[in-house]
Amino acid sequence: METKDNIEQIFVNFVKDFVAKDKQDRILQFFQNKKDWWKIKIEFHTSNPFDSKKILEIEPNQQYADNIYVKLKKLGTKEECLSLLDYLNNETYNCKLEDKLADTVGFLYETIIYCPATKTGYFESGHAKDRYILKS
């Protein structure tokens, strides 16, 4: 289980790794003050904050939890992952990749599932078809 300090550093590293350089400071500034964490969730309502070189589009006919799971496993993604937006919501953020994908894919609920060991993950925004595999 991740300690609080580890998850905070993992979140900062995630932003530095996946968010476009010109948007990093804004998100990290919100992260410094827990009262502003809701603003981070708004930032991730779309895929706009991401560095386009770090996200892989998922074809519409492949946007199913089982297909995404297979693709992530091929990239080396571990079963034990973190749900970064759940962390910001002060909810349980340690998750099993397959279960979390099954619970989130296609529900149009902002989701960032991240595996720090492999720097891979999954993003879904609040918009249909805005689903990406994250790969650094």
**DSSP letter string, 49-107:** TB-GGGEEE--GGG-SHHHHHHHHHHTT--SEEEEHHHHHTTS--EEEHHHHHHHHTTS
Strand partners of residue 81: 95
What would the pLDDT profile of 75-89 be if each residue is shown by its tens digit? 999 999 999 999 999
Strand order in the sheet with 120-124: 55-57, 131-135, 120-124, 111-115, 80-83, 94-96
> In the structure, what pLDDT confidence band is assigned to residue 98 with cuts at 50, 70 and 90?
very high
Average pLDDT, the chain: 93
Q: Is the pLDDT of residue 1 over 50?
A: no
> In the structure, what pLDDT confidence band is assigned to residue 4 with cuts at 50, 70 and 90?
low
What would you report as the CA-atom Rg of the chain, rounded to the nearest whole angstrom?
14
Domain positions in the chain are 4-135
* pTM across the whole model: 0.92
